[in-house]
Amino acid sequence: MARFEAHGLEDTIVFFGSARTTPESKYYGAARQLAFRLTQWSKELASTERRFVVTTGGGVGIMEAANRGASEAKGLTAGIGISIPIEQTDNAYITRGLSFHFHYFFMRKFWFAYLAKAMIAFPGGFGTLDELFEALTLVQTKKMKKPMPIVLFGTEYWNEVINFDALVRHSTISPEDVNLVYRTDSVDAAFDWMVAQLTTQALARPGAML
């Protein structure tokens, strides 16, 4: 995208999660704090490019929280939206010129995956699950060549909603597929793990795309 290039963006960290999450929720606060810390870290990197820009679906809830945290860290932050009857309005924290809208979900998901160097999924509904499983499928089948660290934030939710152990038990995924995600309830743990992954994988492989 020309606008990404114009802002010097090389890659992104994508935050997924429910638009129904309220600002009073612990998950809203965690997404805001994690986006703030990752943006601060990325700004300290010795690079002329804008690295690991926090990107969301552009709406409210978890998306607003992540864009808000990145904005409060005085970093660029993007929103890649979708034209649907609900969630039409961009949140107020997206950097001017970095709000995008798509008509088709498949094109939106392509740009999420193409630019991303990492993904963080907070509790969410059908849309979040769709985006998560799209990424997991690309990684599992090795259609995505670049490393893709994926955090599932909120262990109680994710353990109840997705029973990875049952999928292994029924032989529908391999035991090692469970390790495609890192599950945590801690902002500190998510931040430390993500920074370690990005440092050893993305920073060591500049420019790696799909």
pLDDT band at 145 (very low <50, low <70, confident <90, very high): confident
Q: Is position 114 within any domain?
A: yes
Highest mean pLDDT among 36-50, 53-67, 101-115: 53-67
- pLDDT single digits (tens) 82-125: 766 665 678 999 998 787 777 667 677 877 788 899 999 999 99
Residues 61-75 have a mean pLDDT of 97
Q: What CATH number does the domain containing 71 carry?
A: 3.40.50.450
The whole-number average pLDDT for the span 193-207 is: 84
Within a domain: 121? yes
For the chain, how many structural domains are there in total? Answer: 1
Domain contains 178: yes
Residue 202 CB neighbours (<10 A): 23
Distance (Å, whole) CA 28 – CA 187: 12
Domain range for residue 27? 2-197
Q: Is residue 191 part of a domain?
A: yes
